[in-house]
Amino acid sequence: MSNQQHHSPDSTISKTASITPAKIDWQTDDAGHTVPVSRQFGDVYFSKADGLAEAHHVFIGHNHLPQRFANLYVSSHEQQQKIFVIAELGFGTGLNFFATWLLWRQIRKPHLNQMSNDKAIFQLPRLHFISFEKHPLTHTDLTQALQDWQNSQPNLAPLISEFLANYPPLVAGCHRINFVNDALTLDLWLGDAADNLPMLHVGQPHHLNQQASGQIHAWYLDGFAPACNQSLWSDEIFAQIQRLSAPNATLATFSCAGVVKRSLASIGFDVTKVKGFGRKREMLTAKLATSGIQSADVQSHHVSNTPPSSTPPSSTPPSITPKSVLVIGAGIAGLMSAWALANRGITITLMDKTAPLSGASGNPRAVLAPRMTALTQVDKHLHSMSYLYGVRFYQQITTPSTAPIFEQTGVIDTLANANPKQPKQIDDYPDDFAMMIHQQTVKKTGMVTDMANMAKCRHLSMIDLPFAYFPKAGLVNPKALAKHVLAHPLITYQTACVTSMTQTKTGIKVNVQNKQSLNTDAVVICTAYESCLLHQQIFDYRKIRGQVSWFTPTANQWQYLPKIPVKYGGYCTPFTDLPNDVLSQKSSKKAKQKPNTQTLFLLGASFVRNDTATDLRPQEHKDNLNKLINALADTGMAFTDSESISTSIDWQGRASIRAQTPDYHPVVGRIDDQVDKPVNANTDISRIWTMSGMGSKGFAFAPLCAELLADMMTNAIPPMPTQLMAKLSPNRVRLQTPLND
């Protein structure tokens, strides 16, 4: 082992924030491989002998994952999709995750080859990997730490590259990354595990008289050694392991410390010492005892020295999951609900009384940018976490086509100075999430280079400094998104009007106007402000009329207009019109030639309460334009007074109605019609759900909220803390009082 060591320049600088990035030193072993070492804890991230082999020996082998993964594919009388859940304490460089992902992919591949159609692929087993990390590596350090593995392990290289492309900004909270092609979900919780583990939601039982149970089938305890990092081995952590573990859960850890043995035994695990990896003589493996939790006054805490049974435990039987779901409403809420459920192997009928995107979700473009909060609150701030997930989601599903689903343009927000505290709040964030652009920042040569892509404005004076800039933000193309969703093999779209529904012993009977009734296992209501018409327990939302305006700028006008989206009291953005881009169900053929395009300029949006008319109004076109000119003074040079109030501008536009809740949070969850029934009633819980009340933030909220909805409907662990889930509940206190306006 060489004693060569150097500091990472990237990890020596950190912002004052709730997440402190890992401080990394680098050592070079005798074979020339780079080994990261934590400066905070004085310990290596993985074995200097062979980190990948260590992951296989300690965690994969001693949790019996090869056989347990294979067992998921054994046919059974229950034809529901199976899910296996792994939880890890200490994500580190992600090496355990990559080794597990590769094994999962290898076991999955032959079964993929046997699938006769695309529908069957989505009904194969899924893997959910949940990992916790208090001091995550920066993207630069993580890239360096994984470089040797990318170079030496060809099978790992594409996995590492895909992960790094989706690695989140280092802010606290749960960052979900879905790898749909591998039926794999990673939930990376950044922050103290002692704070985050209690936030994991244990799924609701199918009957009111059933008890909820844990859902994690295997644990990787891979924090730094107890002598270095006592907090990750505390009684509070082990109590959460007990709460979240499924029956017959297994656990493996490199540690053989007495405190670990005693703690595991005290929460009901049978603990076994086995041979460690490399120079480490022993390690621990454990299985949750079927007899339940040991009494707290047991003093012996027996630890077996014999290996566990050769028959590895399987995952728990799958929870009762709907096989078919009717999603009513094909706006952004309905589209995302259908997508998330279909990716879990559920057959979806998506129904709308008019057409997809006919309501508030049908504007030419949607600006995806965050609404900021103090960094210390970001992990429980729906808009921030939804924005981060939305960026990853829209980027992942964007494929080369004539109509990209997402364009990462960056977005400017001029309202940062409206709240005196906000510039400081934004300065606290990592720059890849948000940054304040000050006069001194503009003068820096390097920043000006970055800003060439950011502002693309001839005159930066057009926008008063300072302003906020969100580098990962951009534009969503709703039509392209809908086209992609409707092409999913498990989603069928119908134009029809639902008149009523009734829950039966086996599902929901849905009555459809002028059509035969249909039966389905569950229903999701996504009809915005009309949702309450389908179920009286859904809140009667505030109705907000919004009109957007767009036009084709002349060459003279174009030189004075921003070239990327800008938010102020309204918003503006250029966008490219693709005349041949129309909604087409199940269409996957690419256009033979690129259609003619033109650049238009979009302005939004009016805000009129309690007005449900959707006619186009010249006054609202004028108001949208005046908001732009008042916010960005130089843009006024593009228009004469007469043009702003006359028909000189060839306005196009659309008006729609947004559904808004009193607390500005959407409504996501089960419609609870059992409120007045005894707790022990042996009655099926309601099969009717809703995702609605998105206001004007549907394209930000919907992707993450749909993941929450799908996880609740399939009894999986959601990517959201329980406090935030409570803020979205259809039964929350704030929705018990009707609006008075």
Q: Contact at 8 Å (CB) between 482 and 496?
A: no
The H or E element containing residue 588 is none
pLDDT at 737: 85
pLDDT at 379: 92
pLDDT tens digits, residue range 487-516?
999 999 999 999 999 999 889 999 999 888
Tell me the mean pLDDT in the region 605-633: 94
pLDDT at 540: 96
Q: Contact at 8 Å (CB) between 338 and 350?
A: yes
pLDDT at 582: 39
Q: 194-198, 292-296, 549-553, 569-573: lowest mean pLDDT where?
A: 292-296
pTM, two decimal places: 0.90
Residue 700 lies in a domain: yes
Q: Contact at 8 Å (CB) between 448 and 671?
A: no
Tell me the mean pLDDT in the region 66-73: 96
Q: State the first-to-last Cα distance of the chain, in angstroms, to the nearest integer.
A: 73
pLDDT band at 402 (very low <50, low <70, confident <90, very high): low
CATH classification of the domain holding 496: 3.50.50.60
Query: Of 244, 262, 288, which closes a domain?
Result: 288
Indicate whether 457 pLDDT > 50. no
Q: For residue 273, which amino acid is it?
A: K
Q: Contact at 8 Å (CB) between 282 and 255?
A: no
pLDDT at 130: 99
If DSSP codes are grouped into helix, strand and coil, which group holds residue 457? coil
pLDDT at 591: 38
pLDDT at 279: 75
Q: 186-200, 590-604, 662-676: lowest mean pLDDT where?
A: 590-604
Q: Which two tokens stand for residue 734?
A: 């704030």
pLDDT band at 680 (very low <50, low <70, confident <90, very high): very low
Residue 701 lies in a domain: yes
CATH classification of the domain holding 572: 3.30.9.10
Q: Contact at 8 Å (CB) between 97 and 45?
A: no
**177 and 191 share a domain?**
yes
Partners of residue 352 on adjacent β-strands? 495
Indicate whether 77 pLDDT > 60. no
If DSSP codes are grouped into helix, strand and coil, which group holds residue 599? strand
pLDDT band at 462 (very low <50, low <70, confident <90, very high): low
DSSP letters spanning 503-517: E-SSSEEEEETTS--
Query: Of 420, 443, 471, which closes a domain?
Result: 471
**90 and 129 share a domain?**
yes
pLDDT tens digits, residue range 537-550?
999 999 999 999 99
CA-wise closest residue to 614 among 550, 660, 551, 547? 547
Q: Contact at 8 Å (CB) between 278 and 260?
A: no
Inter-CA distances, 327 with 352, 394, 711, 728, Å: 9, 21, 16, 19
The rounded distance, in Å, linking the Cα atoms of 625 and 647 is 13
Q: Alpha carbon 656 to chain centroid distance? A: 27
Indicate whether 410 pLDDT > 60. yes
Indicate whether 530 pLDDT > 60. yes
Partners of residue 327 on adjacent β-strands? 350, 524
**196 and 246 share a domain?**
yes
Query: Of 449, 471, 493, which closes a domain?
Result: 471
Residue 389 lies in a domain: no
DSSP letters spanning 229-287: -GGGGSHHHHHHHHHHEEEEEEEEES---HHHHHHHHHTTEEEEEEE-STT--EEEEEE
pLDDT at 444: 43
**515 and 556 share a domain?**
no
* Token pair 């829950």 in the structure block, residue: 503
Indicate whether 405 pLDDT > 60. yes
pLDDT at 647: 59
**170 and 260 share a domain?**
yes
Residue 309 lies in a domain: no
**609 and 517 share a domain?**
no
Tally of domains in the chain: 4
Residue 740 lies in a domain: no
The H or E element containing residue 93 is none
CA-wise closest residue to 180 among 112, 126, 236, 258? 126
Indicate whether 522 pLDDT > 60. yes
**97 and 183 share a domain?**
yes
The rounded distance, in Å, linking the Cα atoms of 543 and 529 is 7
Q: Contact at 8 Å (CB) between 576 and 509?
A: no
Q: Contact at 8 Å (CB) between 561 and 572?
A: yes
pLDDT tens digits, residue range 196-234?
999 999 876 555 445 557 999 999 998 666 766 677 788
- Domain hosting 536: range is 324-360+479-541+665-675+682-735
> Which residue did the predictor score with more confidence, 597 or 5?
597
Tell me the mean pLDDT in the region 242-254: 96
Length in residues, the chain: 741
CA-wise closest residue to 388 among 354, 330, 432, 350? 432
CATH classification of the domain holding 189: 3.40.50.150
* % of the chain beyond a pLDDT of 90: 63
Q: Is beta strand 245-253 parallel, antiparallel or unpaired with respect to 184-190? A: unpaired
Q: 107-116, 264-273, 641-650: lowest mean pLDDT where?
A: 641-650
Q: Alpha carbon 241 to chain centroid distance? A: 24
**231 and 178 share a domain?**
yes
If DSSP codes are grouped into helix, strand and coil, which group holds residue 340? helix
Residue 651 lies in a domain: yes
Tell me the mean pLDDT in the region 602-624: 95
**170 and 282 share a domain?**
yes
**52 and 182 share a domain?**
yes
Tell me the mean pLDDT in the region 678-695: 78
Residue 588 lies in a domain: no
Q: What is the mean pLDDT of the chain?
A: 84
**355 and 488 share a domain?**
yes
Exposed/middle/buried for 490, CB within 10 Å: 0-12, 13-18, 19+?
A: buried
Indicate whether 133 pLDDT > 90. yes
Tell me the mean pLDDT in the region 384-405: 90
Q: Which residues contact 263 (CB under 8 A, 6 or more apart)?
A: 233, 235, 238
pLDDT tens digits, residue range 283-340?
999 999 875 443 332 223 333 433 444 444 433 333 468 999 999 999 999 999 999 9
> Which residue did the predictor score with more confidence, 684 or 14?
684
**133 and 252 share a domain?**
yes
Residue 713 lies in a domain: yes
